[in-house]
Amino acid sequence: MLELDLTGLSCPEPVVKTKRALKENPQGVVSIVDNRAALENVSRFGRAMGYKVNAVEKDGAWRIEITK
């Protein structure tokens, strides 16, 4: 599964990059973010597109798995 390192980016950039990646990898991607706004926005986007979203926090960053 494609893994995107989106740490250090502020919204809407993590959502835009996740959206582009999902177009090329419709089965799912993993987005790694380091701020709460990106966590909430990327998770909301994934759910709105009909994907399952699972986020796990580790060392100040969240690994958001977006899968069919």
Q: Which residues are catalytic?
A: 11
d(CA 4, CA 52): 17
Q: Nearest CA to 32 among 48, 10, 52, 14? A: 14
**Could you tell me the end-to-end alpha-carbon distance of the chain, in angstroms, rounded to an integer?**
12
| Tokens of residue 20, six digits | 């582009």
